[in-house]
A and B are shown apart, each in its own frame.
Chain A
Amino acid sequence: EDQVTQSPEALRLQEGESSSLNCSYTVSGLRGLFWYRQDPGKGPEFLFTLYSAGEEKEKERLKATLTKKESFLHITAPKPEDSATYLCAVHGGSQGNLIFGKGTKLSVKP
């Protein structure tokens, strides 16, 4: 069964404390892995797309990486404004549509 699992469910960091969020997936024929950021009461906002193992993308304090089984979203020296829920989604497998993980809620305390 096609599946996307994100861990941890919630993560609390101090400002400046770097960490990583994990997205593991089991789909055949990956056509793309997406990371989104969602602020409370708003719709998800696109961050990155990764297509093949070994690929990396960066934006400010965020860096996304991809292997054949998982993706990591690395957050370097986070700030309170990085607090949000981060969603991972995968295109591929037997379903034609995106499969979303349940998200990781990140809180960064000053």
Chain B
Amino acid sequence: DVKVTQSSRYLVKRTGEKVFLECVQDMDHENMFWYRQDPGLGLRLIYFSYDVKMKEKGDIPEGYSVSREKKERFSLILESASTNQTSMYLCASSGHVDEKLFFGSGTQLSVL
């Protein structure tokens, strides 16, 4: 079975801190994605990557950046965390663009 692992289940950070969220997949998938999920807003795409060192903006990239130095790892970076970035962050991967996504368990980030 495909496994997508997110490094932290819960994180509490202070406003202004730099935050790193890590995601690793073990199925050699080309595509990786970062979403945030908020009550009443559903899943929103932040960034995605189709290949190593490639990145594309999603629907809400402001305040975020990403890094993909290796195929299996996709990192989400909050350069200067703000309270409105408190959310559940979900990483996902897929073998091809139109295929189903495999999600990690999520990181619940609280910015105080």
A residues at B contact (CB < 8 Å): 31-32, 34, 36, 41-46, 49, 87, 89, 91, 96-98, 100-103
- Inter-chain CA distance A49–B98, complex, in Å, is 10
- Inter-chain CA distance A101–B42, complex, in Å, is 7
CB distance A31 to B103 under 8 Å? Answer: no
Q: Known pairs A43-B105, A97-B33, A100-B42. 17 more at Cβ < 8 A?
A: A31-B98, A41-B108, A42-B105, A42-B106, A43-B92, A43-B104, A45-B103, A46-B101, A87-B42, A91-B98, A96-B97, A97-B45, A97-B58, A98-B45, A98-B101, A101-B42, A102-B40
Check if B90 is an interface residue, CB within 8 A of chain A. yes
CB distance B100 to A49 under 8 Å? Answer: yes
B residues at A contact (CB < 8 Å): 4, 33, 40-45, 48, 58, 90, 92, 97-98, 100-106, 108
Main secondary structure of the interface of B (DSSP, over half): strand
- Inter-chain CA distance A110–B72, complex, in Å, is 42
Q: A43-B90, A97-B48, A97-B58 are contacts. A87–B106 as well, Cβ < 8 Å?
A: no
CB distance A102 to B98 under 8 Å? Answer: no
CB distance B105 to A102 under 8 Å? Answer: no
Inter-chain contacts of A100 with B (CB < 8 A): 42-44
21 A–B contact pairs at CB < 8 A?
A32-B98, A34-B100, A41-B105, A41-B106, A41-B108, A43-B4, A43-B103, A44-B90, A45-B103, A46-B100, A46-B101, A87-B42, A89-B43, A97-B33, A97-B48, A98-B101, A100-B44, A101-B42, A102-B40, A102-B42, A103-B42
Inter-chain contacts of B41 with A (CB < 8 A): 102
